Amino acid sequence: MDREALERYIDRSLDLVDASPQMDEQNTRAKLIDPLVRDVLGWDLYSTEVELEYPIQMGSSKTKVDYALLLEGSPAVFIEAKGCDTTISTSHEDQLRSYMQQQWVDWGLITNGVVLKLFKLKKSENHPSVDLLGESTVEELRRQSWIVKTLSKESIQSGAADGIYRSVERRRKAVSQLTQNKDEIADELLEVLSERVGDSIAREAESEAKSFIDDLIGILSNGDESGGKPIREPEPTTRETRSEATNGGTEGKYVVRFGKDGSDVLHRSESQSDVMAKAVEYLIFEHELIENLPSFPYVPGKKSAILNDEPVHRNGERMRQYRELGNGYYVYTSLNQESKKRQIRRFAEMCGVKAEFGGAW
C-alpha cells in the first residue's frame, strides 16, 4: 500500500467532507469511495477486477452489493457504500454480513466516506459468522492504516491480509485476558518486583501497577496491526502543534489539547493516568472545574468518585489508583482508556472548552 497515496487521500477527503458534510451517496461514491478503491487499495476500478452492483442471490430474491473486488473472477472483498449524510446502522452492517455469508466472501467494508468498518468472515462447516475486525474514521487512518492495508490488492493477493487478521485476534485475546485479570496480574507483577528489588520499592510501585496494565491495554487496543508505522501527522501549523515540536514531540505519549478562542494548551505524558491528572489539574486551576461540577465529590455513577478532596469513594472505600492534584484534590485513574478520555472530555465541556486527543490514544 502506498502510504503517500493514503495521506493524500486523507487530506483530500477531509477537505471534501468539511465542504459538504451532507454529501449524498452518489457523490460520496464518486468523490470518496471510488478514489479509496483505486488510489489507496490499488484495485483497477476500470477493469474486470472491480464490479459495481454485483448481483447476489438471497433465497428467492436477488440483490446487489455496491462493490465487489475480484481475484481470478471470484469476489474477495465486498464494499457497501453509504452517503456522508447517512449514519451507518446495525441493519446496514447486518446486510453486509448476510452478503458475505451467502457468498463466502472473506472480507467486507462498509463506509459512508467518513467512517470505515472492516469485517472478516469466519468459516465453519455449519454456519459462517462475520466479525467486526476494526473501525476508523478517515482522519484516524493516519494511525489505523492497517484497516485499509488489509483490503489492498497486494495484501489480499499475497495472503498478508490473513496475517493481519491473526495479529488482531492475538491482540484481542491479550486485551481480554489483561482486562479480566487486571488485579491478579498487578499482584503478580508486584510480587516479581518484591523478589527482584525489594519490598519497599514494590510498595512504592503499587499504585502504578494497574496504570501500567491500563497503558498496555491501550497500546494493544490501538496499535497498528499491520506492523507498519503510522502515517506522519501534518506539519505543525497551529500554536499547540508548534509547542509539540519545540518540546520533544508526541511519539509514544498520550496527548490532550484544550482549545478556546484560538488559544490551545497542550498536555502530554507517557502514562494515561499522568496525562489525565495534568489535564484535570489544568481545568481546576485555569477554568474553575470544581465550581462547575454538578456536585462534589464528583460521582458520575453509583460508586466511584472521579474527583474528591481525599482518595476515597462515596462508600468510604479507598481509591485503588489515583493521582494527587494541587490544593488537596484527588482524581481517580483506575479507568480504561476510553473512560479516561470520556471523563476528560466531560470535564472540559463543563468548563466550556474543547478537549482533543492525540499521540498514542
Please give the share of the chain, as a percent, with pLDDT higher than 70.
Answer: 87
How many CB atoms are located within 10 Å of the residue 245 CB?
11
Partnered with residue 356 across adjacent β-strands are: 257
Mean pLDDT of all residues belonging to the chain? 84
Give me the architecture of the 3-158 domain, per CATH: Alpha-Beta Complex (3.90)
Across 137-151, 263-277, 293-307, the highest mean pLDDT is recorded for: 137-151
Predicted local distance difference test score (pLDDT) of residue 75: 97
Per DSSP, the three-state class of 360 is coil
Predicted local distance difference test score (pLDDT) of residue 261: 53
Amino acid identity of residue 169, one-letter, is E
Q: Rounded to an integer, what distance in angstroms lies between the CA atom of residue 230 and that of residue 249?
A: 15
Q: Is the model more confident about 91 or about 208? A: 91
Across 40-44, 227-231, 295-299, the highest mean pLDDT is recorded for: 40-44
Between 43-52, 61-70, 225-234, 345-354, the lowest mean confidence (pLDDT) is in 225-234
Return the domain boundaries, the chain. 3-158, 164-222, 239-359
DSSP letter, residue 321: S
Give the three cell numbers for residue 29. 461514491
**Which whole number is the average pLDDT over 195-203?**
73
Predicted local distance difference test score (pLDDT) of residue 228: 45
Predicted local distance difference test score (pLDDT) of residue 243: 39
Predicted local distance difference test score (pLDDT) of residue 360: 81
**Which whole number is the average pLDDT over 40-61?**
94
Inform me whether the pLDDT recorded for 216 exceeds 50: yes
Q: Rounded to an integer, what distance in angstroms lies between the CA atom of residue 206 and that of residue 193?
A: 10
Inform me whether the pLDDT recorded for 113 exceeds 80: yes
Q: Is the model more confident about 105 or about 319? A: 105
Give first-to-last CA distance, the chain, whole Å.
24
Predicted local distance difference test score (pLDDT) of residue 40: 96
Q: What is the pTM of this model?
A: 0.58
Inform me whether the pLDDT recorded for 51 exceeds 80: yes
Predicted local distance difference test score (pLDDT) of residue 236: 35
DSSP letter, residue 358: E
Question: Please, are residues 114 and 137 in contact by the beta-carbon 8 Å criterion?
Answer: yes
Predicted local distance difference test score (pLDDT) of residue 263: 54
Q: Rounded to an integer, what distance in angstroms lies between the CA atom of residue 194 and that of residue 183?
A: 16
Across 5-9, 61-65, 108-112, the highest mean pLDDT is recorded for: 108-112
Amino acid identity of residue 209, one-letter, is A
Between 115-124, 172-181, 193-202, 307-316, the lowest mean confidence (pLDDT) is in 193-202
Nearest to 361 by CA among 81, 155, 140: 140
Inform me whether the pLDDT recorded for 283 exceeds 60: yes
Predicted local distance difference test score (pLDDT) of residue 229: 42
Inform me whether the pLDDT recorded for 250 exceeds 70: no
Between 34-43, 89-98, 233-242, 343-352, the lowest mean confidence (pLDDT) is in 233-242
**Grid cell 497503558 — which residue?**
215
Predicted local distance difference test score (pLDDT) of residue 252: 65
